[in-house]
Structure formats: C-alpha cells, structure tokens
Chains A and B, each alone.
Chain A
Amino acid sequence: MNFKELRDNFRTKKISAKEAVKESLAKIKDDKLNIFINHFEKEALGNAEHIDNNFEDFKDKPLSGVPIAHKDIFCTEGLPTTCGSKMLENFIAPYDSTVVKNCLDAGSIMVAKTNMDEFAMGSSNETSYFGAVSNPWNHDLVPGGSSGGAAACVSANLTTISTGTDTGGSIRQPAALCGITGLKPTYGLVSRWGMIAFCSSMDQAGPFSKDAFGCAALLDAMASYDEKDSTCTKRKEINFEKSLSKDFGSLNVGVIKNIEKLGINEDIINAYETSKTVLTGLGHKLIEVDFSELSSGICSYYVIAPAECSSNLSRFDGVKYGYRSDGEKDIVNLYMNTRSDGFGDEVKKRILIGTHVLSAGFYDAYYLQAQKVRRMIKVKFENFFKDVDLIFMPTTLDQAFEKNRKSDDPNKMYKEDLLTIPANLAGLPAISFPNGFKNNLPIGGQLIGKYFGEDLLLNTTHKIQEVTDWHKMTP
C-alpha cells in the first residue's frame, strides 16, 4: 500500500490510525536491515488513539492517520535523539524540532527514528555508531547516506513516508540507491530548528516516499515559516499536493552536454537517455547545458562543509549534554577525551579538515576560494535558468555499492556526491526519482528547479510517474 492508499483508507475509515501503526510496528520490530535506532510503541499507539478519537479534526490533514519514521537527526521531546553518534547515545531532547512538530500536527504518527551516518557525514550509512544499514534490494549493499535508514525504511515498505536531511545529497543519493522518491527543498523552505546542525548554510530537511504524491503531502506538512530559524524564509504559501494536478504546459528542460565525460556508469547513462524520451513524450523540450565545472563543486563542498561542521560540533564538549569521558582531572582533558571517544573517525577527520581550512594562513586559499567556487556554481545555475525551467541529470555516478568497499582512490566516496552537491551549494531544490533498473537494482534521475520551485519539480515528477512504473517496483 502506498501513502495515498493508506491515507484514503484512514479517511474512509477502512483502517484506523491504530491499526496502521500496529501494522507498521510489526514490520519494524521484524527489521533485519538495521534501519532503525529506536522505535516507540507506547507513544505511537497513544498518538494513534488520540487521532482516532478525534477523527473529524484530523481527517483532512495532509498526513492523516499515516505512520512516519523520522531521521534520528530531528529532536523529539522526551525521546532519544542520537544523530547516529556515541556522543548522543543517551541524549533525550528537551523539545521537538519544528519538522517533528509540524508532522505531528499534520496527523502523522511517529513510529520510529531511522539510522544515519554519524552527524549526517557519509554517503553509505556506514559511519553510524549503531552500525551499517543494508540496502533492501540486496542486503550486501549500502542504502546510500546519510539518510540511509530513512530511504531503506520506505523502500522496504515499513512506512510509506519518512523524513531526511540533505547537505550534499543525503536525501537524493539514498533515494536513488533504494529506488524511491526524495526531495531536497530550497534552502530556507523547511525550518532547521531542532535539526542537529552539520553545515548550517546547506543543511535542509525534506521528504521521502515511493512517489511524488507522498513527497508533496509530506512537504506540505514539513514546510512552514519559523521565526526560530533565522534562515527560514517567508514565502507565498503553495499547496504542493494540489499543485500535482496543475498544468504547467510544455517546459524547457536542461540536459547535460557531454554527459559521457563525467565518469558516470553506462547503465545510469542508458536510463538517463530513456528518461529523456519520457520527457519529450510529455511534450517538454530538451536543451543542452554545459556543466563542465561540475567537479569543482566537490572541492568547494569539502572545504565549506567541514569548516561549518568544525564550528557546529564544538558544542559537544561533555559539559552540557551528551557523552562525557570518565575521571578527567582538568577541563582541557575532559574536552579532548570526550570528543576523541565520542566522535567516530569520519567526524573527527572532517572536524580536523574544517579546523585547518579556517586557521590563520589557510583561510584565503581554502575557505575564501571555496566560497568563490560556490558563487561560480550559483551564477552558472542562474544563467541556465534564463533558458530552461528545470535541469535533468542522473542522481548518482553508480548504483548501490558493496559495504566496506575498497578502492584505490581514497576520495572515491566523496566523489560519489558529484551530481548532488551543486544544488546544495546554490541552495536550489532538487528531486530524485527512480528512472530505471539494472541487475535488479534501482537507478535514480534528478530534476533541479529554480528557487522555491518545488511545485514544478513535484508536478513534473508526478507526470513522469503517471506514465512510468519504476516507482512501483518493490524489493
């Protein structure tokens, strides 16, 4: 059952919220893929009962009666929020993040919180303190990251919707590797309040579902102006679900010139070419765009993201909350031992890179140059969008890869983010949706839109999904 069917069944009283939660929890408890860090039976059943008892108040809400899993990066009042780290293993958040509160108000019931790369730093979900997540399509493979648990959860039909966050591709890449739909909204559309910070100028929360319909409904719930996030933007209210049936007419879609030079796997390119014919079949016009500077986005990202993370993660000091190492005699040792024991290797590495690029003597060469590359990428997009309404490209270079992958190239994992990072640097919205299969593994395609153009992204994806079946495949 997909999101829409489940919600329709609740609205027509074919299923109660409590029955939907029980069904979801039974599957969650049986999970063999390590998708969850915690699940909440008592709280979920209590919330479901409240929704059932107040049916009239909830029946028309965007997520009425639907179980949801939240990425464990969103604070949940009175319940654990680990961010995939030993540092926060026993942390009980004192308040709900705006995203969690909005989803609750929209009639959903949180059943569990999903596994993730530690502090959202990773592209394979292998950096989690709580262990790697398996890809539902092949358990020896990774689900992608950092929102790997959230994507695997929807892919494996354990819930029909889940939340994620995307700093460099952490929604779109796992969506592609798990064969589902995932959207990174425009920076500033969804409040970051109560979402544990990694790279504040790029972090953005967004929805996962099998299809654009579920993503639209979940985004309706998630997006809100929030004075508690100083970068949250006041904008014209758009109903994303309603915009799915709107007719935007024939679009100019930008497609990547010389795509074969980007090091993308042949099967992904084949799927891309097939999707181009789907777009023209829907009446859209394809216009080639030259994105040869794409790779410099990775350089910029791996300076700016570690720089901001080194600053954001300085709050984890063993004093105010979280892990503290035992028996320290002075405060400096307390900080150092707490952080050394509490953080995993990838997080420590990124803190060190960030500290280095921000330190005296290196700031201009690294941080300033990276911010200029960021400007260059943004200008590039602005120029593209003079001629096109959307840009279409693959989401990833490859399909899901094996756990503990060994590579001759130490930067291979970082380079995986080549196609997703540009939208983060520019703050643009982008959606990944299944657009092919090879060797019984999904492939993802990505549409990038103009600022606050989520309605067009969701509408176009929805129209593609009306004439294709990739999003209906189940592991």
Chain B
Amino acid sequence: MDKIELKNLLFLARINAKEEEYPELIKKLQNTFVLIDEMQDLDLSDLEPLNNPLELSNVSREDTDKNRNNKKKFLDNSPESDEDYFNVPKIIE
C-alpha cells in the first residue's frame, strides 16, 4: 500500500489522517494483512461462501402502520436540529 492508495482508502472511509501519520498507518495495516493473507494458500474453490451462520431466511412481519411518533426524541439526540430537520453545513455551493 502506498500513500496514494491510503489517501483514497481514508477518503472512502471518511476518516482523516495527517500526512506524517501515513507511514505508521501503512505499517499497521500491512501487518494486519500479513495475518489475513495466511488464508490465501487454501484451495477453497469448491466451497460456497457463508455469510450467515444459520442460513435461515429473514424473519418478516406485516408492513403495518405502528403510529409511533418519536420525531422529537430522535431530533433531540442530534448535535444540531430544528423542529423538523437535522441541521448540517451547506451541501450545495
């Protein structure tokens, strides 16, 4: 991983890092990939990937109106809100 790749990765993850922190961060990530890469030698071409241990179908319920009005409760948890909206800095120039 080089600096350009790391910069791109940081942006995808919406995380900042100072340029002087890059070498240490690259080292840390590369160390983890040394551990992960141990699985690359396994020939698992005949196995299906497993994404949920129980492989059960999702539980579904009737799509009915529960009439729960928690708007104020949720808006109050926001760092900045008014009566109806979460407030954020300007999005469009």
Contact = CB atoms under 8 A, between A and B. Distances in A.
Given A351-B15, A369-B39, A232 B53 contact: no
B4 interface: no
A451 B40 contact: no
Contact of A425 (B15, B44, B53, B73): B53
A303 B17 CA distance: 22
Interface residues of A, number: 76
A181 to B, nearest CB: 23
Interface stretch (A12-20, A46-54, A130-138, A335-343): A335-343
A333 B91 CA distance: 11
Given A319-B78, A352-B29, A410-B28, A328 B40 contact: no
A366 B37 CA distance: 8
A434 B45 CA distance: 40
A30 to B, nearest CB: 33
Contacts of A353: 29, 32-33
B77 to A, nearest CB: 4
Interface in A296-345: 296, 298-300, 302-303, 310, 314, 317-324, 328-337, 339-340, 343
Interface string A412-455: 00110000000001111000000000000000000000010000
Interface string B70-90: 100110011110000010111
B17 A340 contact: yes
B69 interface: no
B5 to A, nearest CB: 9
A335 B12 CA distance: 11
Interface centre among B12, B39, B60, B70 (most CB of A within 10 A): B39
Contacts of B50: 371-372, 374-375, 378
A232 B59 contact: yes
A231 interface: yes
A414 to B, nearest CB: 6
A242 interface: no
B35 A321 contact: no
Contacts of B80: 324
Given A320-B86, A373-B44, A343 B34 contact: no
Provide the main secondary structure of the chain B interface.
loop
B54 A187 contact: yes
Q: Which of A372, A376, A410 has the most CB of B within 10 A?
A: A372
A355 B15 CA distance: 11
A276 interface: no
A370 interface: yes
Nearest to B73: A94
Interface in B1-52: 9-17, 25, 28-29, 31-40, 42, 44, 47-52
Given A233-B56, A318-B79, A331-B88, A340 B40 contact: no
Nearest to B80: A324
Contacts of A300: 39
A450 to B, nearest CB: 12
Contact of A329 (B31, B77, B89): B89
B35 to A, nearest CB: 4
A117 B33 CA distance: 22
B16 A411 contact: no
A295 interface: yes
Given A94-B70, A296-B38, A334-B89, A321 B77 contact: yes
B32 A187 contact: no
Contacts of A415: 35
A271 interface: no
A370 B38 CA distance: 11
Nearest to B62: A227
A461 B88 CA distance: 54
B58 interface: yes
A365 interface: yes
Contact of B28 (A319, A349, A369): A349
Contact of B31 (A232, A328, A411): A411
A231 B52 contact: yes
Closest 5 pairs between A and B when the two form their complex, measured CB to CB: A427-B53, A371-B49, A324-B79, A299-B39, A372-B44
Interface of B: 9-17, 25, 28-29, 31-40, 42, 44, 47-54, 56, 58-61, 70, 73-74, 77-80, 86, 88-91
8 contacts: A317-B14, A320-B74, A334-B89, A348-B15, A352-B15, A378-B50, A414-B35, A428-B53
Given A319-B78, A321-B78, 7 more contacts: A94-B73, A302-B32, A303-B36, A322-B79, A349-B25, A411-B34, A427-B53
